Chains A and B, each alone.
Chain A
Amino acid sequence: MSEHVITPNAKPADVLIREAHVLDPRTGLDNPADVLVRKGVIAELGEPGSLEAPAGAEVVEGAGRHLFPAFVDPHVHLRTPGQEHKEDLETGTRAAAAGGFCLVVAMPNTDPVIDSAPLLQSLRDTALRDARIPVGFMAAITRGLQGKELTEMAELRHEGALGFTDDGKPVTSAGMLRLALQYQRLCGGVLALHEEDPTLSRDGAMHEGEVSALLGVAGIPSVSESTMVARDAALAGYEGGRVHMQHLSCIESVEAVAAAKERGFRVTCEASPHHLCLTEDDVRGLDTRMKMNPPLRTERDRQALIEGLRSGVIDCIATDHAPHARDEKEVPFEQAPMGTTGLETAFAAVHTELVLPGVLPLGLIVERMTAGAALLDLPTPRIVAGEPADLTLVDLTAEWEVGENGYESRSANCCLAGRRLTGRVNLTIAAGAVAYRTRSLEVVA
């Protein structure tokens, strides 16, 4: 299935990462080690200081840093085609590499919508030329995201669609989603669902609650999401289909997914770093960078998401990286488009807000930031000899201010702008090639 991912042609790395603390929660590795990458493949793991760099290999001093399997983001918006003023495949994947990701999956709500095989083929060709790291593509469930007719899902799968989603919009009609679930038996591919009942969210621009009441901004109630999560879990159970619920934001949704999983339904879900780290309180200043869909909710909801991540009800962390141009966000809150960027800050944000205060262990975060691959039937990055090198080297002590040196992304609408975070990606190797390195990283030989 990995032919569904576009892997850019890049020079395979020959690198020796020396004495980094290697952590791979799936293999149980959690100790300092030398890791040798030859021709883009993890060639050898050894005791710290034990491996020699072969001729021509670069040596990276990893002491004091952590080496993880690189992250996988099943939910990003790369805005190509049609909105390249916000992001394109090059800038988006560069941002991903800077955030430690070795694979991102782009949503089809572009302009035009990726709802036919020729469009997907053209996009994949562009990715082969422009992407800096492997990238996969989802196709739309319904034509034009209109919710009225199914796309040619089988043909889209043959063309390389990883799965299907109308993300940005819900599949409002239960009957339409049921058809997609039935059709999934023919074509395979997960159905990723943006869960929202538009008759409940209406013209809402933030979480409905204390802060929206004070600000006079129309609210999006939690039940707008959770009722659809419950409905779609029931449909998936009835049809035996497989669905992935995107960007859960509230406690009721976590409960609904937990109930569905208990009944054995094939339901998975994700939470975003911003929903794990921020709440409606951060919207009080009506900073448009804090406007996203689903909205930031209450502290109680945030705690439920953290608990869901811990228990495994929430399978993975996904950024929902949603770039918007400066002038699009420099408007009054109610007029601003929904979305925040997140690829470059994802790990540092959860590390700062959840790992450092002792809320969640580091290993669990690394696991949840790589788990998106399996949900899309893709191989999970692992630090094992013989596997392709998908690695990220992180300095867990480095403090930085978000935005201080700009962004790799074309857009700057990051909800964490100006915050001090701890933990910085120094090096990313994706599909065996060096995709990112900080300029300050010391290269010994």
Chain B
Amino acid sequence: MRHLLSVEDLDRETIERICDRATSFAEVADREIKKVPALRGRTVLNLFYEASTRTRSSFELAAKRLSADVVNFSASGSSVEKGESLKDTVLTLAAHKPDAIVIRTPWAGAAAMVAGWTSAAIVNAGDGKHEHPTQALLDVHTLRTRLGSLDDLSIWIVGDVLHSRVARSNIQAFQKMGAHVTVAGPPTLIPRGIETMGCHVRHTLDELGEADVVYALRMQHERMSQSWVPSLREYAAEYQINGRRLGPRQILMHPGPVNRGVELSGEVVDSPQAVILNQVEAGVVVRMAVLYEVLAGARAEEHAPEPSLA
């Protein structure tokens, strides 16, 4: 795999290969010295145009555990604030010859665009409201670890689907892995046409009981000012996953950070059904597997060194 730009590009076999490798990397985290030399001498550049703590640190840890060198570049306090274009920034950073660029931007398609401007492997860490493929992979990995398989699972993704790159990547990843996906949320926050992705659409949680997995999305406060929903109070009344709505055999997921008391009640966050911390843990090993995949996996085979003539 040359780049990881979207889940749309992946097939089931690739998703499984990455998750299997993540499983083998999981053992590294339990060592006293949490490092393997797989990417020694490689440089990974984290280029973040949006605030992010967990995704960025997760990528940073992943790269470091594979012994890669890591450079973090965030848009605030940099030339970006002085008006430099994305292309010029990327070309400037590419001059340092990174092997991989992990990029997050508020713009759909930006990661794919960057892939055309540099020879580095590009890993999309979120492009606007489009995709967040490593989140989907770590969510698949979490479920596989917990349940063995996603085949025929019913997974409900609940909340602000309109503004969620996590939803768009996960709808595709879960379906590719054999699950049935339902999206549920306020009609103002379910994008017109989403059903063409193959998911069901619900506007109430009346049938939430059919779900094996409930995946709650983060409800952002700034959505209130634009009247997407009348109030967080009303949103919580209709869509909050709480002890009353979550059944004992259902698994609860959330991409973080959680707004306790909004999309999730405190009790379910702390319940044994919640695998939210497992998702965070999976984040590092899955990102190790992704970096390995683009830097040392299939790509290394494609670019095998020429046999020496000497």
- Give the contacting residue for A334; candidates B85, B108, B164; CB below 8 A: B108
Is B191 within 8 A of A333, CB to CB? no
**B3 within 8 Å of A by Cβ?**
no
Q: In the complex, what distance in Å separates the CA atom of A331 from the CA atom of B165?
A: 20
Given A214-B168, A221-B192, A330-B87: A335 in contact with B197 (beta carbons within 8 A): no
A333 and B129 CA atoms in complex are apart in Å by: 12
> Among the listed stretches B17-25, B109-117, B215-223, B255-263, which one makes contact with chain A, having 4 or more residues with CB under 8 Å of it?
B109-117
Quick check: A331 and B85 within 8 Å, CB to CB? yes
Beta-carbon contact of A331 and B131 below 8 Å? no
Once A286-B109, A333-B107 are accepted as A-B contacts, the answer to whether A217 and B130 lie under 8 Å apart by CB is: yes
Task: Please tell me if the beta carbons of A217 and B87 are within 8 angstroms of each other in the complex.
Answer: no
Given A330-B87, A331-B86, A334-B128; A216-B110 close (CB under 8 Å) = no
Does any Cβ of B come within 8 Å of A268's Cβ?
Answer: no
Chain A residues with CB below 8 A from B307, complex form: none
Is the beta-carbon distance between A332 and B192 smaller than 8 angstroms?
Answer: no
**Cβ B108 vs Cβ A332 within 8 A:** yes
Set A213, A330, A331, A334: member contacting B194, Cβ < 8 A: A213
Q: Which residues of B contact A216 (CB under 8 A)?
A: 108, 128-131, 164-165, 168
Q: Do the beta carbons of B192 and A286 come within 8 Å of each other?
A: no
Q: Report A241 CB to chain B, min CB distance, Å.
A: 34
Q: Which residue of A lies closest to B112 (CB)?
A: A286
A215-B193 contact, Cβ under 8 Å, with A330-B87, A331-B85, A331-B86: no
For B107, B129, B197, which residue has the most chain A Cβ atoms within 10 angstroms? B107
Question: Contact check: which of A212, A218, A285, A331 meets B87 at CB < 8 Å?
Answer: A331
For residue A14, CB closer than 8 A to chain B, the reply is: no
B113 x A213 contact (CB < 8 A): no
Contact with A along B182-209 (1 / 0, CB 8 A): 0000000001111011000000000000
B108 touches A213 (CB 8 A): no
Interface string of A259-289 (1 = CB under 8 A from B): 0000000000000000000000000011000
CB contact under 8 A between A332 and B193, given known A217-B129, A286-B112: no
CA distance A214 to B169 in the complex (A): 9
Kindly state whether residue A210 has any CB partner on chain B within 8 Å.
yes
Please tell me if B105 contacts chain A, counting CB pairs below 8 Å. yes
Measured between beta carbons, the chain B residues less than 8 angstroms from A213 are 191-194, 196-197
Asked if B196 and A217 make an inter-chain contact with CB atoms under 8 angstroms apart, the answer reads: no
Question: Given A216-B130, A217-B129, A327-B85, are A332 and B109 neighbors across the interface (CB < 8 Å)?
Answer: yes
In the complex, A243→B54 CA distance in Å?
A: 55
Q: Does A208 contact B (CB under 8 A)?
A: yes
Q: Type the 1/0 row for A109-120, where 1 means its CB is closer than 8 Å to any CB of B.
A: 000000000000
In the complex formed, the residue of A with least CB distance to B107 is A332
Asked whether A188 is an interface residue with its Cβ less than 8 Å from the other chain, the reply is no
CA distance A438 to B85 in the complex (A): 38
Shortest CB-to-CB span from B160 to chain A, Å, is 12
Contact A209-B193, Cβ < 8 Å, known A216-B108, A216-B168, A332-B105: yes
Query: A213 vs B172: C-alpha distance in the bound complex, in angstroms?
Result: 13
A219 CB within 8 Å of chain B: yes
A334 to B197, CA, bound (A): 22
Those of B76-95 within 8 Å (CB) of chain A: 85-87
- Contact at B107–A212, with CB atoms within 8 Å? no
CA separation between A212 and B193, bound complex, in Å? 8
Question: Are B196 and A210 closer than 8 Å at their CB atoms?
Answer: yes
Contact assessment for B107 and A215 in the assembled complex, using a CB-CB cutoff below 8 Å:
no
Q: How far is the CA of A359 from the CA of B28 in the complex (A)?
A: 64
Shortest CB-to-CB span from B8 to chain A, Å, is 8
CB of B83 to closest CB in A, whole Å: 12
Complex alpha-carbon distance, A76 and B87, angstroms: 29
Inter-subunit contact A332/B86 (CB<8 Å): yes
A residues near B106, Cβ cutoff 8 Å: 334
User: What's the nearest-Cβ distance from chain A to residue B118, in Å?
Assistant: 14
Convert B164-178 into 0s and 1s, putting 1 for each residue whose CB lies closer than 8 angstroms to a CB of A. Answer: 110010000000000
A332 touches B129 (CB 8 A): no
CB distance from B270 to the nearest CB of A (A): 31
- Cα distance A215–B196 in the bound complex, in angstroms: 12
Asked if residues B193 and A210 are in contact (CB atoms below 8 Å), the reply is yes
Closest Cβ of chain B to A414, distance in Å, is: 18
Cα–Cα, bound, A394→B165 (Å): 48
Contacts of B107 in A (CB 8 A): 332-335
Interface centre among B8, B105, B127, B128 (most CB of A within 10 A): B128
The chain A residue with its CB closest to the CB of B105 is A332
**Contact string, A330-359, partner B, CB cutoff 8 A, digits 1/0?**
111111000000000000000000000000
Smallest CB gap from A213: residue in B: B193
Q: Which residue of A lies closest to B161 (CB)?
A: A213
Residues of B within 8 A of A219 (CB): 191-192
Given A216-B165, A331-B85, A286:B108 Cβ within 8 A: yes
The CA of A216 and the CA of B164, in the complex, are separated in Å by: 8
Of all chain B residues, the one with the shortest Cβ separation from A332 is: B107
Q: A216-B128, A216-B129, A216-B168 are in contact. Are A209 and B108 (CB under 8 A)?
A: no
CA distance A217 to B130 in the complex (A): 7
Q: Which residue of B lies closest to A334 (CB)?
A: B107
The 26 listed contacts between A and B (C-beta, < 8 Å) are A208-B191, A208-B192, A208-B193, A210-B196, A212-B193, A213-B197, A214-B168, A214-B197, A215-B108, A216-B128, A216-B129, A216-B131, A216-B168, A217-B130, A219-B191, A286-B109, A286-B113, A331-B86, A331-B87, A332-B108, A332-B109, A332-B113, A332-B128, A333-B108, A334-B106, A334-B128
CB-CB nearest 5 A-B residue pairs: A332-B107, A216-B129, A286-B109, A213-B193, A216-B130
New contact pairs (8) apart from A211-B193, A213-B194, A333-B108, CB-CB < 8 Å: A208-B191, A213-B193, A214-B8, A217-B129, A221-B192, A327-B85, A332-B109, A334-B108
Tell me the B residues contacting A by CB distance below 8 Å: 8, 85-87, 105-110, 112-113, 127-131, 164-165, 168, 191-194, 196-197
